[in-house]
Amino acid sequence: MGYESRFYVVEKTDISSIDDDNKKYASEIAKFDMCKMGYGSHTLKLVKESPKTECYIFSDDGNTKILEDKYGDPLKELDIKPLIKALKKDDDGYRRVKPFIAFLEALNPKQWRDIKIIHYGY
């Protein structure tokens, strides 16, 4: 059994939304659909322990704000290095893990203002 997860790699901005508790816009860089990783995974444990984000992202239509996940839970914000570590611990050959790790390792945080990972459960 597992929880389906989508991870958005984002750059946080200072653009606030006056109609959504001043949440800040996060610009999507990439999106990884990990499907079900398993409730016991290191990655989902990290997600559970991570703080809620004060950011929002837009859905694929470019107009609908995503402020919470499909279940009404707050979006969670993760840092890159701990997420890479958790994903590596969970890498048991599942084909979606290695490309996600490779992408995250290829990012140079110095080239971005404030890069984070936003978790969306569905």
Q: What is the DSSP string of 70-104?
A: TTSPBPEEE-HHHHHHHHHHH-SS-TTHHHHHHHH
Burial class (CB in 10 A: 0-12, 13-18, 19+), 43: buried
- Average predicted confidence (pLDDT) for the chain: 93
Report pLDDT for 44. Answer: 94
pLDDT tens by residue, 61-118:
999 999 999 999 999 999 999 999 999 999 988 899 999 999 999 999 889 999 999 9
Buried b (16+ CB within 10 A) or exposed e, 1-38: eebebbbbbbebeeeeeeeeeebbbbbeeeebebeebe
Helices of type H across the chain: 42-49, 80-90, 97-106
Mean pLDDT of 23-29: 95
In this prediction, residue 4 carries a pLDDT of: 94
DSSP 3-state assignment of 114? coil
* pTM: predicted TM-score of the whole model, two decimal places: 0.93
Highest mean pLDDT among 8-17, 19-28, 71-80: 71-80
Which residues contact residue 43 at a Cβ distance below 8 angstroms, ignoring those fewer than 6 apart?
5, 34, 37, 83, 86, 87, 90
Percent of the chain at pLDDT above 70? 98
